[in-house]
C-alpha cells in the first residue's frame, strides 16, 4: 500500500474575525464547521467571551494520504516524522478595482509603486513543530502628501497560525479592525468602495510538506478565506457557496447533475433554509412555511413539490411573475443546477432517503463541503465571505481534479477578497432588505449571515431590527461586536448575547 498523493483538506477553509483576544479554545475562539450540516460548538458562554467580545472562528486544516489501493488516511504526528505548514495571507482591498465601478481603482490618486503599500501582506509564515504559533501581520501604508512625500503606516494584524498536538493547522484571522488612518468618514456615496480605509479580512494559500519514513512529500495546497462573523450560524442559505461553485463546475463540464438527486442531500436543504429564514426576516403571509418542517411522510413532499417548484424564480431569465418570488433574496435565484434538481423532484425523478443527518466521522469530502456550506452563495453584491472571483474563471482551479481547489499558480494572496466591501461593516449596515424589483416586494440580502429582523431573547413577542441602535455605517465599524447572535431556543430561534448600545 503506497501513498500516491497527499492533500490538504478542506480545499477552501473559512475562518472568521472576532474581537476576542483570549487565546484559549472555547474561550476566545472555536473551530469552524468540519462535518456537513453540523453546527460547531462555540464553547463556553456561546459566541462571545466573558467580556462580551466575539470569538474568532478558526479554520482547521488536515492532511490526508491517498493510497494506491483507494484507501485514505489522515496524516498526523503519530504516523509521520515531521509536518511543516506554510501560510501567506493578504488583504489587497485598498489596491483593488472598485466593486461598484470595476473599471476604476480604489484610491486612484495613489499611483505607481506607492500602491503596493495599500496591500496588507503577512509574508510566508511557517510552522514545523506541534504547539508552535506564529502571528500574521502586515502594514498598511497611505500617502498623505505626495509633494512632501509624507506617509502614514499602520501595523495590521491578520491573525495567527498554530499547529495542534496532532499536527493539524489552525488559522485564526484578524480582530475585526477597520479604520481610516487619514480620518476619511464613511459616506452614503458608497457601501463597498471607501478610499483611505482598510480592514483585516484576508485570504491566501496553505501549503504543507510531510516527511514519512525519511521521505519528504509535498501536499496538494489549500486556500483559506478570513471573513466577517456569521451571526446566524445554525441557519444556512438557500444557495450556499458550495452550491454556487458546484454549479460553476457543472457549467464548465467538471461536475454533473445527479441523475436521481437525493431528497436528503440535494432537495431538502433548499427547503429547510427557506423555512428557517422566517426567523431572520419578518415576512408577512408565509402560511406555507409551516408545512416545510421535517415530515417523514414522502407523500406529503410529493404533494408539495409542484407548488414549491412553481414558486421558484427562473435562473438566468427576466420572464418572472409575482408568484415566482422564491427565494425572497435580492438579486438572487437558485443556481441553474439547483433549479434542475428541484425540477427533477417535481417530476418524481429523485431518491427518497428521508432527511439530512450529519455524517458520523470527518472525511476529506465532508471537510470541503462543510466549510463552504456555511457561506453565502448568492447574491454576490458583493457577498459576505467571497464573491464573483470564485466563479469567473475555471482556470483558477486545478484542472487535474474535480475538487474546488484553487491553483496557487493562478491565484495570489488577497485575490479572493479583493473586491469585497471595504470596510465590510459598511456593507453590513447598508445591505439588509429592500424592494429591488417591484414584482417581488421586499427582499432580503444575506439573512443567513447578517440577520434582518430578530426575536430578542428578552422579549420574543415581536420582531425587532437586528441592527437597532446602530444609526450609521461609522457606528457599525465601532459597535459591530455588540450585535447579537441568532441561535436555537427550543422550537424557535432567538437573538442572544446582544450587548448594550449607548
So what's the pLDDT on residue 383? 94
Among residues 56, 31, 46, the alpha carbon closest in space to that of 164 is found at: 31
b/e sequence 326-363, b meaning 16+ C-beta within 10 Å: bbbbbebbbbebbbbbbebbbeeebeeeeebeeeeeeb
Cα–Cα distance measured from residue 84 to residue 375, given in angstroms and rounded to the nearest whole number: 29
Run of H or E residues at 303: helix 298-310
Question: 34 in a domain, yes or no?
Answer: no
Question: 253 in a domain, yes or no?
Answer: yes
Between strands 464-465 and 485-489, the pairing is unpaired
Cα–Cα distance measured from residue 85 to residue 61, given in angstroms and rounded to the nearest whole number: 10
Residues spanned by the domain of 270: 241-347
Cα–Cα distance measured from residue 38 to residue 277, given in angstroms and rounded to the nearest whole number: 18
Among residues 70, 72, 26, the alpha carbon closest in space to that of 368 is found at: 72
DSSP 448: T
Q: Is 9 helix (H, G, I), strand (E, B) or coil?
A: strand
283 CB-near residues (< 8 Å, 6+ apart): 328, 442
Question: 192 in a domain, yes or no?
Answer: no
* C-alpha cell at position 358: 450529519
Q: Map grid coordinates 472598485 to a residue.
A: 98
Number of domains, the chain: 1
Run of H or E residues at 159: strand 150-163
Cα–Cα distance measured from residue 266 to residue 379, given in angstroms and rounded to the nearest whole number: 20
Cα–Cα distance measured from residue 432 to residue 225, given in angstroms and rounded to the nearest whole number: 23
Cα–Cα distance measured from residue 422 to residue 412, given in angstroms and rounded to the nearest whole number: 19
Mean pLDDT, consecutive 10-residue stretches, the chain (502 aa), reads 95 99 96 97 96 98 97 97 99 97 95 96 98 98 74 97 99 98 92 97 99 97 99 96 98 97 96 90 66 77 93 82 77 95 98 93 98 96 96 96 96 99 95 68 86 96 95 96 97 95 80
Q: Map grid coordinates 450587548 to a residue.
A: 499
Question: 195 in a domain, yes or no?
Answer: no
Cα–Cα distance measured from residue 63 to residue 216, given in angstroms and rounded to the nearest whole number: 14
Among residues 357, 242, 374, the alpha carbon closest in space to that of 294 is found at: 357
Question: 482 in a domain, yes or no?
Answer: no
Cα–Cα distance measured from residue 204 to residue 348, given in angstroms and rounded to the nearest whole number: 43
Contact 225, 355 (CB under 8 A): no
So what's the pLDDT on residue 436? 58
Residue 482 C-beta-side C-alpha neighbours within 13 Å: 13
Question: 159 in a domain, yes or no?
Answer: no
Cβ-based neighbour number of residue 313 at 10 Å: 18
Question: 55 in a domain, yes or no?
Answer: no
Question: 154 in a domain, yes or no?
Answer: no
Helix axes 336-346, 241-251, angle to 10 degrees: 90
Cα–Cα distance measured from residue 436 to residue 162, given in angstroms and rounded to the nearest whole number: 44
So what's the pLDDT on residue 435? 63
Contact 65, 76 (CB under 8 A): no
Rg (Cα) of the chain, in Å, rounded? 23
Amino acid at each position: 500500500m503506497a501513498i500516491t498523493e497527499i492533500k490538504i483538506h478542506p480545499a477552501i477553509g473559512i475562518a472568521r474575525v472576532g474581537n476576542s483576544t483570549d487565546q484559549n479554545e472555547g474561550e476566545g475562539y472555536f473551530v469552524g464547521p468540519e462535518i456537513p450540516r453540523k453546527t460547531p460548538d462555540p464553547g463556553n458562554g456561546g459566541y462571545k467571551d466573558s467580556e462580551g467580545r466575539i470569538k474568532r472562528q478558526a479554520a482547521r486544516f488536515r492532511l490526508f494520504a491517498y493510497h494506491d489501493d483507494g484507501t485514505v488516511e489522515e496524516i498526523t504526528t503519530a504516523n509521520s516524522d515531521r509536518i511543516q505548514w506554510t501560510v501567506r495571507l493578504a488583504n489587497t482591498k485598498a489596491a483593488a478595482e472598485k466593486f461598484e465601478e470595476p473599471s476604476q481603482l480604489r484610491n486612484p490618486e495613489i499611483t505607481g509603486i506607492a500602491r503596493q503599500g495599500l496591500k496588507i501582506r503577512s509574508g510566508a509564515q511557517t510552522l514545523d513543530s506541534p504547539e508552535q504559533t506564529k502571528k500574521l501581520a502586515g502594514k498598511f501604508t497611505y500617502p498623505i502628501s505626495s509633494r512632501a512625500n509624507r506617509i502614514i503606516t499602520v501595523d495590521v494584524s491578520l491573525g495567527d497560525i498554530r499547529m495542534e498536538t496532532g499536527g493539524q493547522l489552525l488559522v485564526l484571522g484578524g480582530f475585526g479592525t477597520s479604520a481610516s488612518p487619514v480620518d476619511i468618514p464613511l459616506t452614503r456615496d458608497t457601501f463597498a468602495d471607501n478610499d483611505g480605509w482598510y480592514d483585516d479580512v484576508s485570504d491566501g494559500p496553505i501549503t504543507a510538506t510531510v516527511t514519512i519514513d525519511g521521505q519528504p512529500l509535498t501536499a496538494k495546497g489549500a486556500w483559506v478565506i478570513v471573513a466577517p462573523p456569521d451571526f446566524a450560524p445554525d441557519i444556512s442559505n438557500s444557495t450556499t457557496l458550495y452550491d454556487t461553485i458546484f454549479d460553476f463546475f457543472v457549467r464548465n463540464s467538471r461536475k454533473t447533475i445527479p441523475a436521481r438527486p437525493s431528497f436528503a442531500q440535494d432537495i431538502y436543504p433548499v427547503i429547510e433554509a427557506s423555512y428557517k429564514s422566517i426567523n431572520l426576516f419578518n415576512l408577512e403571509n408565509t402560511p406555507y412555511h409551516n408545512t416545510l418542517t421535517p415530515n417523514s411522510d414522502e407523500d406529503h413532499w410529493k404533494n408539495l413539490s409542484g407548488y414549491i417548484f412553481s414558486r421558484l424564480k427562473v435562473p438566468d431569465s427576466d420572464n418572472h411573475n409575482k408568484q415566482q418570488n422564491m427565494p425572497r433574496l435580492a438579486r438572487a435565484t437558485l443556481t441553474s443546477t439547483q433549479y434542475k434538481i428541484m425540477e427533477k423532484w417535481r417530476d418524481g425523478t429523485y431518491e427518497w432517503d428521508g432527511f439530512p443527518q450529519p455524517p458520523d466521522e470527518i472525511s476529506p469530502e465532508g471537510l470541503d463541503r462543510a466549510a463552504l456550506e456555511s457561506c453565502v452563495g448568492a447574491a454576490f453584491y458583493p457577498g459576505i465571505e467571497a464573491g464573483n472571483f470564485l466563479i469567473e474563471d475555471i482556470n483558477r482551479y486545478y484542472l487535474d481534479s474535480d475538487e474546488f481547489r484553487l491553483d496557487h499558480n493562478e491565484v495570489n494572496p488577497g485575490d479572493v477578497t479583493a473586491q469585497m466591501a471595504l470596510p465590510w461593516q459598511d456593507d453590513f449596515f447598508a445591505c439588509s432588505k429592500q424592494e429591488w424589483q417591484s414584482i417581488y416586494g421586499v427582499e432580503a440580502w444575506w439573512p443567513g449571515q447578517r440577520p434582518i429582523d430578530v426575536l430578542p431573547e428578552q422579549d420574543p413577542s415581536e420582531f425587532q431590527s437586528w441592527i437597532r441602535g446602530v444609526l450609521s455605517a461609522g457606528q457599525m465599524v465601532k459597535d459591530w461586536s455588540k450585535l447579537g447572535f441568532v441561535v436555537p431556543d427550543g422550537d424557535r430561534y432567538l437573538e442572544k448575547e446582544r450587548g448594550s448600545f449607548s
